[in-house]
Each structure stands twice: as structure tokens, then as C-alpha cells.
Amino acid sequence: MTPHDGQFDKTRVTRFPGGGASMPSTPPAPYPDANLDFDEGSDGGFNFWELLRIFVKWWWLIAIIVLVVVAATTIFTLRQTPMYRATTTVEIKQQESNIIEVNDVEQINANAEFMSTQYSLLRSRALAERVVQSLNLTTDDRFANQTVELPKRVEQAASVVVDNLSVAPVGRSRLVNISYASSDPRLAARVSDAVAETFIAYNLERKFNATSYARDFLEERIAATKTSLEASERALIQYADEQGIVNINNNASGETDATGSLDSAALVSFNAELATVQAQRIDLEQRYNEAASNQFAADIQNDPTIQSIQTGLAELESEYLEKSNFLKPDFPEMVELNGKIDAAKSRLRSERSNIVNTLESQYQATLSREQGLQSRINEIKGDVISVRNRSIDYTILQRDVDTNRTQYDALLQRLKEISTSDGIGSNLVSIVDRAKVPNLPFEPNLKRSLVMALLLSAAFGFGLAYLIELIDDRIKLPDDIKEKLDLRILGVVPLLGKDEKFEQVLTDSQSSISEAYASTRTSLQFAVSGAPRIIQITSTRPGEGKSSSAFALAKSFAAQEQKTLIIDADLRLPAFSRGGGESIGLTGLLTSMAPIEPQLLPSKFPHLFLLPAGKVPSNPAELLSGHRFEQVLHELRDQFDQIIIDGPPVLGLADAPILGAVCEATILVIEAGAIRTPSVKLTLERLATSNTHLIGAILTKYKSAANGYLDYYQYSYGKEFSEYGKRKHRKPKSVLAHLSFLKKPDTRNRDLEITENF
């Protein structure tokens, strides 16, 4: 693997017997090329476990919303006035007859249209007003204001009836349920039956009125049609006499045809001949114009005489040119040849003129013929148009007569049918089931309301929780590091319990935090051929667990019998001090040429040493960027198997990028749920500018229960496996494991609480 794949090149790292490695021979790869190639990616589709995590995390918010909505719904439902519904079932039969007959297709469509019309009539205001008057509802305070006039009370009562009336078909049958809702169950049954009865009476009345109207209408139309028929027949006969039109035969459709056919045939023939002559005239005109303007026109060049003359002229000119090489122009033979050439040219011009004159004569003859044909066509066209105009008027009059006669016969037949019928026929609407007085109200329906409130409130609560998660761009989960930052997760460190101390849990090899850092060390060792030898630990801002992670990781390496050194390179706010030892620290080494080994302090843990920061300088960035720091690292590399550098935060400082440029690898510490994604991305960009080899991140202070996460980052397999995660968590007071060389510095803006432990 290359450095751009996020792993160290084996050819660039030299292993030593102690397990260490030499400094890389080439600069480390910057962050954009340092992503490890194991990233799973994101399919961007439906993620059941993500939704489950959000539900587990925000269950309390969803529960509160559900409880509030359900309680409000219960109170509102119980305060509503009970409403009773009574239903009357009627049957609407197929329509028996129509005034005007229609074809089969229209009858099939009219079935659904007829039923839809009946539903609308049942819900009409006119029917409601009839019901109001039949039940005398205008005197009921529940339907109308008794202080207004009667017409206004009828209008108000009808509006109440329409608002509480519902009409619905029973399946696909011709049965219809007429339902009325009211706070009085007896009134609901009365109004429902009254609507059905009034509709039956109203339907019979409409049918009778329609039949009576049809008879009167037909009689009036027959009289008018008879008059129109007589007038149209007289007009037809009078027009035929005036125009001299005699019908001597019928066409294929049975109608008389008064249009002459001889002139029409002649017109067609002349039109065809005219088209041919026009084509000839156009062709001759083009040939004539071309020959007159161009001596090389096709008609001239293709003429046999012209071709013969041109051949002879070419031979004479060739002979003249050949003899001019040894004879002078005034030589008799040359003079004779020149005369022949002139004669040939004169003849050529004469022949060309003859061809042009011939084309002109042909063109003029064809043009005269075209004009004659056009004149004859115009004469015939006038005769044809005149005959056709008179025939059109005659046909119009004849069609008017036929239409009036057909309409008159149809109206007479329809009048006979209506006159012989009974006029009314059977009723189309009948009552099947009358309304019964309801015993229980249909509204409010507490069970239905609670179910709807529960479903809607749960959906709203979960949607709100999902929206909060969508808006919240903090790094909270291990997957956020992979998906949002495209970084490898080297380790996930859980949050300390309420009664836990960092030193205690770190000393206990079976604790979750010890397992977490052991897993981080293992990730470094197996990611490449051995862990990077010089590793910087940094973070975006103070308080994310950077120094704690640096010590815990160093202790984990030391536990593997690797000689490990911690360098406190945070020269602005050191986390480690020299304790009881005498050391000028990193600052002293960078400002002098003092020997390094006396400045290294041992700890109470085997194989673990410290190079403290020393005195806080005024120019940390300048000290770290000098050549002396590289010399110090070069000497320490020969003495230690693993060097862990506790660097300062990245944002706002230049120290961490400077350290990243000289370290083999850099690990970014991110506090779970405490820092936004744009801030971390800005950190990555700053590290990338210094060619820092960023190999991954450690997520600290991770609260799996608080994030609703089905935690697969569980490291406790010992005595605390059944207890860890069940304890109540609080905001961490993370404690750095205590070295014999530590003292308690100012921790107001740090994530550490460092105490003395000699």
C-alpha cells in the first residue's frame, strides 16, 4: 500500500529489534490522500437501524408529544356533544322512458349519470325546504332563529338539514342510505324518513310535470315544423322554375343531381393540357435565356453542326500554331490558314445565332399556346361555377325540405307514443327500510379519536426527532466519522461513569476504557506493518480528551514491553509537568544544546517515560518549526520504540500542523457530541496544508445510551461487562492517569483533571 492509501509503505520504515522504526524517508501524505481504503461508504437508502437509533435516543420526546396529544384529544372528545345518526334505505329503479330516445351506448352511460343525479337531488336545497315545511321545523329553535321572518327561518332550517344530511350508495347496488345526524335521536329518525318520503313525492311530481310538458312541447313543435315544411317545399319549386333546373336523374345516394358534367370534363382536360404546355414553355424559356447569354449553353454545345465547326476550328488553330514555329505570319501559307480560321469562327457565330433564334421561336409559339389554353379554361370555369352555384342553392333548398319532413314525421310518431301511454308509469323510488331511533351516539368516537391521535402524534414526534437529528451536525456517532469526515475510526472511548476515576479504570485491564485504548493500539499495529513510530495526538479544540488519549495510548504500548516516550508538545498549556524530577523539558532542549537523556523522566509504569513541556515560551510555533526539534526527534528515535507526542489543538494555533509535518502519523481526537462537523473539517484542511499524515480518529466520551445506539463498540468482556452501560452517566470529569512526574496544572479550559501521585 502507498501512503496515499492511508497506510505506511514498508520500504519507507526500518524495523529495529525493539519493535520501533526509523523516520520515513519521504514526507508523509497529506490528509486528502490519507484515507484508509476500508471505508464502507453509504448507500444513501433506507437505514432501519438508523431510524431505530433515533427512536431509542428520542423516545422521551416522542412519548411526551404522544401523551400531550392523546390527553388533549381525550379532553376535547369527551367535551363534544353526542350526535346520533338515523338511516333510511331507499331503492332507485332504472329510468323507464325518456322524451327523446337515445341509442344503446348513451343508455349505458346514462345509468351512472342518472344515479349521480338522484344523489344530488337528495342533497338539494329545494328538497330540504320541502322537508322543513312538512315537519314544521321553522318553529324549532335548533333549526332557525325565531326572531326573524318566515322565509329567513325556512332558509336557515334548510341549511341545517343539508349540513347534517348524508347520502351514500350501498356498494354497487341501486340501494341508497339516507342518513341524518342530530343530538336528538328521535328527531334524526324523523328527518331521515321525511327526506325519503318527500323525495318520492317530489319525484312523482317531477315525472308528471315532465310528461305534461313533453306533450305540450311536441304539439307546439309539430305545428311549427309543419309550417316550415310547407314553406321549404314552395321555395324549392319556385327556385327550380326560376333557374330552369330540371331533375332528370338521381345520383348513387338517391339525391337529384342538377350539375352538368360536360363542361367539368372539358375543364379537367384543358387543365391537364395547360400543365403540360406550361412545363414546355418554362423549359424552352430557360433554354432560350441560357443560350442567349452563354455561348457554351447545352443546346449550343450539343448541336452537331457546332461540334463539327469547333472540331475543324481546333484543327486549324493547332496547325497554325505548329507552323508558326518556323513560318512568319505574313507567309502565304500562314495567311491562308489565318483566313480559314476567321471563316470558321464566323460560321460558328452564325450557327450559334441560328440556334438562339430557333429556341426563341419555339418559346414564343409555346407561350402563345399557353395563353390560348388559359383563356379557354377561364371561359369554361365561369360556366361550371355558374351551374354549380345554382345547383348548390337548389341542393340546400332540397335538404331543408328533407330535414323538415323527417322532423315532422318523428314528432308525429313521438306524440302518438306519449298520447297512448299512461302518462306517469310506476314510481322509480321506494323505501326499503325506515329509520330506527338510534340508541348510541356515533360521535364522538373516543376509541377512533385516540387511535388517530396516537398514530399522528407518534408520527409527528418521530418526524420532529428525525428533523433534530438532521439539523444537528455534531460528530456524535462512530459512523459520523466515516460518513461525514471520511476518516478511519481507530477507537471509541466510552464516557467515564459517575463514580469512576480515569486512573482506576485505566489501570484495570478489563475496564471498558482500557479495552478501548487497547483496541486503538491494535488498530494501529494491524493497519500497517507495525504502528507508526512517532505519533502526534491532537484535537480540534481543548477539552476533547487529547492528553488523556495520548497517555492511555502510550501506556498501552508500554504494556507491550515497548519502550515508549510521551512528549508534551503543548507548549502553551502543558498537561504534564516534571513533578519531582529535574528536567528543562522540551522548551529547554529547543532553546539549547543540552543533552536529551537527562531530561527524560521515568514513570511508575514500566517502559514509559516523559519529556515534559518545560517552561512555557513566548513563541511556541517558532520553536517547534526550527531544526532543533527535528534533531531532538532523531535522537529520541534511536532510544525509544514508540514516541507519542501530545500536541496542542489545531484551530487557532499553528503548532499542531507544524508537528504533523515532522511526525510519521497524526491521530485526531474528537469528543462525541461536542463539536460540529464544519469545525472538524476545517481542522482536517489545516492539517492537510502542512502535509500531515492523518491516519484516523479516536472518538472520546462516547455515550452509547444517550445516542440510542445499538452499541457494537463494546470492549468490556470481564467483570464489568454486565455492569458497564447500566450506570447513570453525567457530564464527564475525565481524569488523566497519573504519572509519578505529574502535578495539577490549571484545567479550567481542559478535559483533564491531573493530580499528584508519586
Three-state secondary structure readout of 90-150: EEECCCCCCCCCCCHHHHHHHHHHHHHHHHHHHCCHHHHHHHHHHHCHHHCCCCCCCCCCH
pLDDT 10s digits, 570-598: 888 888 865 545 778 888 888 888 888 88
SS3 string of 152-189?
HHHHHHHHHHHHHEEEEECCCCCEEEEEEEECCHHHHH
Pick the more confident residue, 555 or 703: 555
Tell me what the mean pLDDT of segment 136-143 comes to.
Answer: 87
pLDDT at 405: 83
Q: Cell numbers for 661, please give them.
A: 509535518
Choose among 547, 599, 592, 593: nearest CA to 573.
547
**C-alpha–C-alpha distance, residues 128 and 157, integer Å:** 8
Instruction: Report pTM.
Output: 0.46
| pLDDT computed for residue 211 by the predictor | 67
Q: Which pLDDT score, from 0 to 100, does residue 179 have?
A: 92
Residue 218 has pLDDT above 60, yes or no: yes
pLDDT of residue 734: 36
Q: pLDDT at position 382, please?
A: 72
d(CA 422, CA 430): 20
Q: pLDDT digit string (tens) for 2-12?
A: 333 333 333 33
Residue 203 scores a pLDDT above 90? no
Residue 469: how many other CB atoms lie within 10 Å: 18
User: What's the chain's average pLDDT?
Assistant: 76
Enumerate the β-bridge partners of residue 642. 564
What's the mean pLDDT in 248-259?
48
Per-residue pLDDT band for 724 (boundaries 50, 70, 90) equals very low
Task: Please state, in angstroms and rounded to a whole number, the distance separating the CA atoms of residues 36 and 250.
Answer: 97
**Buried/exposed 99-138: b ≥16 CB within 10 Å, e otherwise:** eeeeeeeeeeeeeeeebeebeebbeeeebbbbbbeebebb
Predicted pLDDT of residue 114: 81
What pLDDT is attached to residue 455?
A: 93
**pLDDT surpasses 90 at 456:** yes
The predicted-structure confidence for 375-411, as pLDDT tens digits, reads as follows: 777 777 776 676 667 677 777 878 888 888 888 788 7
The more confidently predicted of residues 297 and 565 is 565
Tell me the three cell numbers of residue 701.
466520551
Show the cell assigned to 200: 318520492
**Contacting residues for 653 by C-beta, under 8 A, at least 6 apart:** 572, 621
What do you get for the CA distance between the two ends of the chain, in Å?
45
Residue 196: its H or E element:
helix 185-243
The per-residue pLDDT for 502 is: 76
Chain segment 638-685, per-residue pLDDT in tens: 899 999 999 889 887 888 888 888 898 999 999 888 888 888 888 898
- For residue 702, the model assigns a pLDDT of 86
Please name the amino acid found at residue 59.
W
Q: Tell me how far apart the alpha carbons of residues 218 and 224 are, in angstroms, rounded to a whole number.
A: 10
What cell numbers appear for 740 in the block?
509519578
CA dist 362 and 367 (Å) reads 9
Q: Which residues contact 139 (CB under 8 A, 6 or more apart)?
A: 146
pLDDT for residue 417 is more than 80: no
